[in-house]
Amino acid sequence: MPFSSPSPMALNKPSPTSSIFKKRSANPVLPASAASYLSALSQADARARTGTAAPSFTSTPALSLSSSATASSEGTVLDPAELENDGLVLPLQPPTSEQVFATLHTEFGHCANDEFRTVSVHPVGTPLAPHVEQDPPYYVLLSTYISYLLLIVLGHVRDFMGKRLTPARYKYLMPHDGYAPLNSDFDSFYTRRLKTRMDECFSQPVTGVAGRTIMLLDRMSPDYNHTQLFTGTRTRALNISSYNYLGFAQGSGGCADAVEESIKRYGVAALGARLEGGASDLLGTAEALVAKFVGMEDALISSMGFATNSTYIPALVNKGCLVISDEFNHASIRFGVRISGAHVRMFKHNDMENLESLLREVVSQGQPKTHRPWKKILVIVEGLYSMEGTMANLPVLLAMKKKYKFYLFVDEAHSIGALGPHGRGIADFFGTNPRGIDVLMGTFTKSFGAAGGYIAGNKTLIDRLRVYGHASPYAETMAPPVITQVVASMASIMGVQGFTDAPKALTDGEYHHPGPAPPSALPGWLHLPPALASGAEGTERLRRLAFNSRYLHTGLKKLGFITYGHAASPIVPLLLFNPGKMNMFHRLMRARALPIVVVVVAYPATPLTTGRVRFCVSAAHTKADVDVVLRACDEIGDVLDLKHGLKKGERWSVEECIRRAGELGRA
Amino acid sequence: MNTTTDTLAPLFQFLDHTLTTAQTTFDKLPGSAVIQRYVKSSHQNDPGRTLLELILIIFAIRTLLQSRTRADRNGSHFIKFTDKEIDELVDEWTPEPLGAPLSPSEESDLAALPIIAGPNGPKPKLLATGKVATNLASFNFTGLAGNEHIKQRAIETLRKYGLGSCGPPGFYGTLDVHMQLESDIADFLGTEAAILYSQGFSTISSVIPAFCKRGDIIVADRAVNFAIQKGIQISRSTIRWFDHNDLGSLEEVLLSIDKERKKRRSPLTRRFIITEGIFQKDGVMVDLPKLIELKYKYKYRLILDETYSFGSVGRTGRGLTELYNVPASKVDMLLGSCATGLASAGGFCAGSRTVVDHQRINGPSFVFSASMPALLAVSASEGINILRSTPSIFETLQDNIRAARAILDRIDCITVPSHSASPIIHIFVRHATPALLSPPSHATPTKTHHSHPTSILSAKDIGREAEYDAEERLLQEVVEEALTHGILVTRAKRLRGQEMVEPRPSIRLALTSALTKKETEKAVNTLKTVLVKVLGRKR
């Protein structure tokens, strides 16, 4: 069993680790010790693999769909060299004859144990526990500030010297030939002097499906990250970074089959804007289905997630209106609000008291200077915040909305599909009626493995947006294959009436939220395989995601890390603080024998001192994958001194976390 | 008196003690002597300075302590209310509805929107009637829509990459096929590099604020499209307008800015000229060689929106630079769309490596948005391959344009300002005083009008909006009537009330090489009959 004996991927604890720690304390210079650590790590890994993995590898796998699908699936890039079993390409535990897995293990992991499932729901009537941001010890904060200070001072010194010694290299930052520089040295200072140092963490090119694993195109930099060269090799890595919450990023399976059919039927492009000859029957069907999915009267679809906010918010508010926006709202919301010409005020992240006092102020004061009453007030929050993993306090917002008569806009870019027992987002999670919210916005990029976004609301409002939204007359409509991916994945989460035995499946052909989709809501040519149409696979995905999210979140907490956000959130930020640790964390994860790719984010995406690594859990991950991540974090956390969340005595060992996974994941 | 001193004595003692302790602690601090000496000597030399520095320190502390999210509560406009008063005000306040219902005409327009059943292309089937119509509305200049080879490649890509990329380009969303398309576009145009955005419309409104900041100068055409207007608005740059497609007016504006700068001796800031290749609003084409000459003469950077000219003009569809034989590298930022000529989706900005790399960090809709689906990127790459090897596409397209124009130019109840090579053709209702409406051309600059460069409103536009409603109804009637004859055309849909200048209503045709010359002629002739009938009736 994977949790009774140490996983073959783990470092062989007793001998090499302790010596490394001694080394580290003796020689605190990071790169040197880290490099030696890395080589020891991979050696230990190789040893462990030959030692313990061998028996499970040689045992005869039962005949099942999985083995055939994994080995000989069409169109999947499988390197023969990759077939060495490290749990990445083939599952460590071969399936038994009862288990039938229809997915590729690289895209959507095989995990049959029903113990590792849970439901994403908030008990109705209980208030959302306030989110406490745990502070690190003072020396961490101090060293973080000193790191930035050092980086800034060094950067300026280098700029000063460089401009005098090698002026040619700074020419593009100086006025030349009567042109002002495109990029002034002051504006680009952060990019040149700080971000460049950690460029290896960003914009990593990949190929293939961004599923459970991802294929990296290896690159190296000969000149301190100024240029990146491809080495020509590829590395498959465990992907805990993509927004693939429900694991619908797949090149095979029912959804991909539906998309293929749609390409044959509809071609690739929509050829124009909604109002100028780009509207199709498929678009109408999809919009109606989205409305049903989120539980609103009507919905419209836009071809790009960012543009959904930036081009439709200006159609909601204009001059004389007030937008009250959470301080951590996404850039697209800010972009849209700025274009709209409405007045904007911010409140502290998720602080409902702050919001209420702000509301009392703005309603009583009216518009600045003139004191005229506001035409309307729109409060914009996100369902799930992409950098924090925190959730909007929907019950309080809805109660406050009754009193202060503002309109509520919830950006569900990350929460739709990822939260709630039926995957219907934040309202589903809190068990409230979505119609209490005025505007629901979301994207298809994340949970649905597609692209673009939607806005849902009442019919009058959506019709108005169809005419007045900036994208409506000018932007291309969503391409038919993308629409089909949305429809197929959404229908498989909902289940189709007649195919599902869910108690909510009523026979009157009507839709009851949050129930299965009536067959008439799908395009006539779309035939989903039974597992999808019955909603069984969709439910499975929701439950796996809910378990994985809670397991990773609570597991990291128990190991002693500082994490942010709600335990049910598939976004799990782990706080690193020091800028130098981000690079190291990324590199150590990437260089493991079973490589893991992570997203590290720092200022300006986060406040200066709270640099972090952000894990995005997926339903495609197996429990064993989360184990791998926990083990890796545990080892690296010791090396980089990251466990500031719990005192030594209160921490759990990683083995204990893994053993008690079921308990942690159900919380 | 004595008693008070007695009672206060412990207090004085305490104060004295604290002061001494503070003094000794301060002395113990390293470097305290230096500070003390500095303060003393500075106070001796200039007591006023001590006061000033003290005030500065207090001000700094106050600024630091001030709440980030609260406006100035002590400002002269702030009125203090009691809680009860606030409650009353909250009760009294009634907001406007979030979305007012559409007007009856808007509603009927929305209901009349043709919806295509099945694949869109040159001859799509309409959902309402089930009949096939000839499509002169959708953007399919090169006829690549429905191309079997592209479909096949799209399916292969789907199997290999899945559909969505599930991440922004910065975080594992950059696929090899995106890099391939970027280098294909750069190669095709002849620039150093290119960057891909996932929606054509959002490209330029992101590119402009990536480069143009507060204090920079933008000189733009008065008739630029909505996306450019929004990009300019969000950039907060200083903006000067020149008359629509009038390069004489552009030069005047450039000269006046130069003069002003010299007079004020203001520092050198970034300066940009923003215009379109073929204008979305009327199909007019810009004189690129002259524009480039001006840009070099006055040292401006050129942002050129080729959304409707890329993949439609030039021998192999490379756009204006190919048509005028100008190296694309002379255009600093060349923007185009993969949704029009390449029948895929997304947009791009081509330029030097510096220009492109800058956007990878500073282009809001690049950084904060998921990258485009792999199969759309591959479709666009395949589209470019086909265009490279099949110049006959553009011969057919130009033949069709010529045939359509030959018919349209002879109808006297309409005017067509669009350039004779433009695949988008705008049809305006001819006005009672036709002289005013002739398309502005730089060959005969109209010196009689003087519009102010700080205002987008041109002198000749003023006072026209009143007629627009009637014209719009008339044109909508033409569109609906044409549809009953099996011709799918569309009014140029606008965001009335949100554009900087209300554009005149028009019908916008988009020609395609997927129709033969005969089919195009037949369709345009039918449109002609409808136009003459409907517009003639109203005269």
pLDDT 10s digits, A202-225: 999 999 999 999 999 999 999 888
H-assigned helices in B29-98: 32-45, 47-65, 83-92
- Of A200, A233, A252, at which residue does a domain stop? A200
Q: Are residues A209 and B86, on separate chains, in Cβ contact within 8 Å?
A: no
- Of A200, A226, A247, at which residue does a domain stop? A200
* Shared-domain flag, residues B283 and B194: yes
Q: Can you read off the two tokens belonging to residue A568?
A: 């049910």
Distance CA A561, CA B392 (A): 64
* The pLDDT value given to residue A183: 83
* The pLDDT value given to residue B72: 55
Q: Which of residues 196-255 of B touch A (CB under 8 A)?
A: 198-202, 205, 211, 213, 216, 225-227, 230, 233-234
* The pLDDT value given to residue A522: 93
Q: Which residues in chain B are closer than 8 Å to A314, comparing Cβ atoms?
A: 498
Using CB atoms, pick whichever of B78, B156, B375 lies closest to residue A481.
B375
- pLDDT, tens digit (0-9, with 9 covering 90-100), for B208-246: 999 999 889 999 999 999 999 999 999 999 999 999 999
CATH of the domain at A629: 3.90.1150.10
Share of chain A above pLDDT 70, in %: 86
Q: Which of residues 359-388 of B touch A (CB under 8 A)?
A: 360-361, 364-365, 367-370, 372-373, 375-376, 379
Residue with tokens 């020396």: A139
- pLDDT, tens digit (0-9, with 9 covering 90-100), for B347-390: 999 999 999 999 999 999 999 999 999 999 999 999 999 999 99
* Shared-domain flag, residues B248 and B124: no
How many Cβ pairs within 8 Å bridge chains A and B?
394
Q: Which of residues 355-384 of A touch B (CB under 8 A)?
A: 358-361, 363-365, 368-369, 371, 373-378
- Of B321, B355, B389, at which residue does a domain stop? B389
Assign A6 to helix, strand or coil.
Answer: coil
Distance CA A222, CA A516 (A): 55
* The pLDDT value given to residue A82: 54
Q: Can you tell me the mean pLDDT for A241-256?
A: 93
* The pLDDT value given to residue B67: 61
Q: Is B482 within 8 Å of B530 (Cβ atoms)?
A: yes
Domains identified in chain B, total number? 2
Q: Say whether residue A288 is in contact with chain B using an 8 A CB cutoff.
A: no
User: CB B285: neighbour CB atoms within 10 A?
Assistant: 21
DSSP bridge pairs for B334: B304, B350
In a domain, A220, yes or no: no
Q: Are residues B160 and A209, on separate chains, in Cβ contact within 8 Å?
A: yes
- ipTM, two decimals: 0.86
In a domain, A493, yes or no: no
Test the B interface: residue of A185, A229, A268, A309 with most B CBs within 10 Å: A268
Question: Looking at chain B, which residue has its C-alpha nearest residue A345?
Answer: B69
* Shared-domain flag, residues B138 and B152: no
Q: Can you tell me the mean pLDDT for A451-468?
A: 95
* Shared-domain flag, residues A65 and A187: no
* The pLDDT value given to residue B502: 86
Minimum mean pLDDT range among A135-139, A600-604, B442-446: B442-446
Q: What is the C-alpha end-to-end distance of chain A, expressed in Å? A: 23
* The pLDDT value given to residue B26: 82
Is the pLDDT at B55 greater than 60? The verdict is: yes
Domains identified in chain A, total number? 3
* Shared-domain flag, residues A283 and A311: yes
Query: Of the candidates A430, A569, A567, A434, which has an alpha carbon nearest to the alpha carbon of residue A124?
Result: A430
In a domain, A7, yes or no: no
Question: Looking at chain A, which residue has its C-alpha nearest residue B136?
Answer: A277
* The pLDDT value given to residue B450: 66
Q: Which domain does A471 fall in, by range?
A: 275-479
Using CB atoms, pick whichever of B69, B95, B97 lies closest to residue A377.
B95
H-assigned helices in A267-376: 281-294, 305-312, 331-340, 352-365
Distance CA A197, CA A584 (A): 11
- pLDDT, tens digit (0-9, with 9 covering 90-100), for A555-569: 999 999 999 999 999
Is the pLDDT at A470 greater than 70? The verdict is: yes
* Shared-domain flag, residues B399 and B505: yes
Distance CA A610, CA A604 (A): 10
* Shared-domain flag, residues A571 and A465: no
Q: Is B120 within 8 Å of B492 (Cβ atoms)?
A: no
Q: Which residues in chain A are closer than 8 Å to B106, comparing Cβ atoms?
A: 467
Distance CA A348, CA A362 (A): 15
CA dihedral of residues A428, A430, A436, A441 (deg, nearest 10): -60
Q: Are residues A279 and B115, on separate chains, in Cβ contact within 8 Å?
A: yes
In a domain, A568, yes or no: yes
* The pLDDT value given to residue A654: 94
* Shared-domain flag, residues A311 and A172: no
* Shared-domain flag, residues B348 and B396: no
* Shared-domain flag, residues A372 and A327: yes
Minimum mean pLDDT range among A290-294, B191-195, B494-498: B494-498
Is the pLDDT at A28 greater than 50? The verdict is: no
Share of chain A above pLDDT 90, in %: 66
Q: Which residues in chain A are closer than 8 Å to B492, comparing Cβ atoms?
A: 276
In a domain, B37, yes or no: no
Q: What is the C-alpha end-to-end distance of chain B, expressed in Å? A: 105
Which residues does A608 contact at the CB level (< 8 Å), separation at least 6?
A144, A148
CATH of the domain at B267: 3.40.640.10
* The pLDDT value given to residue A67: 37
Question: Looking at chain B, which residue has its C-alpha nearest residue A234?
Answer: B176
Shortest Cα distance, chain B CAs vs residue A234, angstroms: 12
In a domain, B39, yes or no: no
Q: Say whether residue B426 is in contact with chain A using an 8 A CB cutoff.
A: no
* Shared-domain flag, residues A647 and A570: yes
Q: Are residues B368 and A332, on separate chains, in Cβ contact within 8 Å?
A: yes
* Shared-domain flag, residues B385 and B396: no
Write the single-letter amino acid at B152: Q
Cα A350 to chain center, whole Å?
20
Shortest Cα distance, chain B CAs vs residue A20, angstroms: 31
Strands A611-616 and A599-601: antiparallel
Q: H or E element: which one contains A541?
A: helix A536-559
* Shared-domain flag, residues A316 and A449: yes
* The pLDDT value given to residue A29: 39
* Shared-domain flag, residues B131 and B240: no
Q: Is B185 within 8 Å of B347 (Cβ atoms)?
A: no
Q: Sign (positive/negative) of CA torsion B131, B132, B136, B140?
A: positive
* Shared-domain flag, residues B194 and B247: yes
* The pLDDT value given to residue A506: 57
Share of chain B above pLDDT 70, in %: 92
CATH of the domain at B131: 3.90.1150.10
Count, residues in chain B: 539
* Shared-domain flag, residues B308 and B420: no
Write the single-letter amino acid at B513: S
- pLDDT, tens digit (0-9, with 9 covering 90-100), for B252-284: 999 999 999 999 888 889 999 999 999 999 999
* The pLDDT value given to residue B28: 81
CA–CA distances in Å: residue A594 to residues A84, A208, A439, A628, B34: 12, 18, 43, 8, 57
Q: Which domain does B348 fall in, by range?
A: 148-389
Q: Can you read off the two tokens belonging to residue A250?
A: 């797949």
Q: Are residues A599 and B494, on separate chains, in Cβ contact within 8 Å?
A: no
* Shared-domain flag, residues B128 and B188: no
* Shared-domain flag, residues A324 and A375: yes
Distance CA A321, CA A373 (A): 9
Is the pLDDT at A58 greater than 50? The verdict is: no
In a domain, A264, yes or no: no
Q: Can you tell me the mean pLDDT for A77-89?
A: 61
* Shared-domain flag, residues B185 and B276: yes
Write the single-letter amino acid at A273: A
Query: Of the candidates A248, A282, A266, which has an alpha carbon nearest to the alpha carbon of residue A521?
Result: A282
pLDDT band (50, 70, 90) for residue A27: very low
pLDDT band (50, 70, 90) for residue A63: very low
* Shared-domain flag, residues A305 and A441: yes
Q: Say whether residue A472 is in contact with chain B using an 8 A CB cutoff.
A: yes
* Shared-domain flag, residues A446 and A328: yes
* Shared-domain flag, residues A436 and A354: yes
CATH of the domain at A368: 3.40.640.10
Q: Are residues A481 and B367, on separate chains, in Cβ contact within 8 Å?
A: no
pLDDT band (50, 70, 90) for residue B1: low
Q: Which of residues 31-70 of B touch A (CB under 8 A)?
A: 68-70
Provide the b/e sequence for B190-203 (b: ≥16 CB within 10 Å).
Answer: ebebbbbbbbbbbb
Using CB atoms, pick whichever of A279, A368, A446 lies closest to residue B113.
A279
Shortest Cα distance, chain B CAs vs residue A407, angstroms: 7
Q: Are residues B85 and A364, on separate chains, in Cβ contact within 8 Å?
A: yes
* Shared-domain flag, residues A308 and A414: yes
Is the pLDDT at A75 greater than 50? The verdict is: no
Angle at A273 between CA A267 and CA A279, to 5 degrees: 60
Q: Which residues in chain B are closer than 8 Å to A195, comparing Cβ atoms?
A: 361
- pLDDT, tens digit (0-9, with 9 covering 90-100), for A91-101: 877 777 777 78
Q: Can you tell me the mean pLDDT for B456-482?
A: 82
Q: Can you tell me the mean pLDDT for A612-641?
A: 94
DSSP A532: H
Share of chain B above pLDDT 90, in %: 68
Is the pLDDT at A471 greater than 80? The verdict is: yes
Distance CA A48, CA A28 (A): 28
Distance CA A625, CA A635 (A): 16
Is the pLDDT at A2 greater than 60? The verdict is: no
- pLDDT, tens digit (0-9, with 9 covering 90-100), for A476-529: 999 999 999 999 999 999 999 888 765 554 566 678 888 899 989 999 999 999
- pLDDT, tens digit (0-9, with 9 covering 90-100), for A423-450: 999 999 999 999 999 999 999 999 999 9
Which residues does A662 contact at the CB level (< 8 Å), separation at least 6?
A115, A116
- Of B389, B409, B433, at which residue does a domain stop? B389
User: CB A300: neighbour CB atoms within 10 A?
Assistant: 25
Q: Can you read off the two tokens belonging to residue B371?
A: 């990258």
User: CB A78: neighbour CB atoms within 10 A?
Assistant: 17
Q: Is B165 within 8 Å of B371 (Cβ atoms)?
A: yes
- Of A200, A232, A253, at which residue does a domain stop? A200
- Of B389, B419, B453, at which residue does a domain stop? B389
* The pLDDT value given to residue A12: 39
Q: Are residues B368 and A365, on separate chains, in Cβ contact within 8 Å?
A: no
* Shared-domain flag, residues B120 and B158: no
In a domain, A96, yes or no: yes
Task: Report whether the peptide linkage leading into residue A604 is cis, meaning its omega lies within 30 degrees of zero.
Answer: yes
In a domain, B9, yes or no: no
Assign B152 to helix, strand or coil.
Answer: helix
Distance CA A336, CA A322 (A): 13
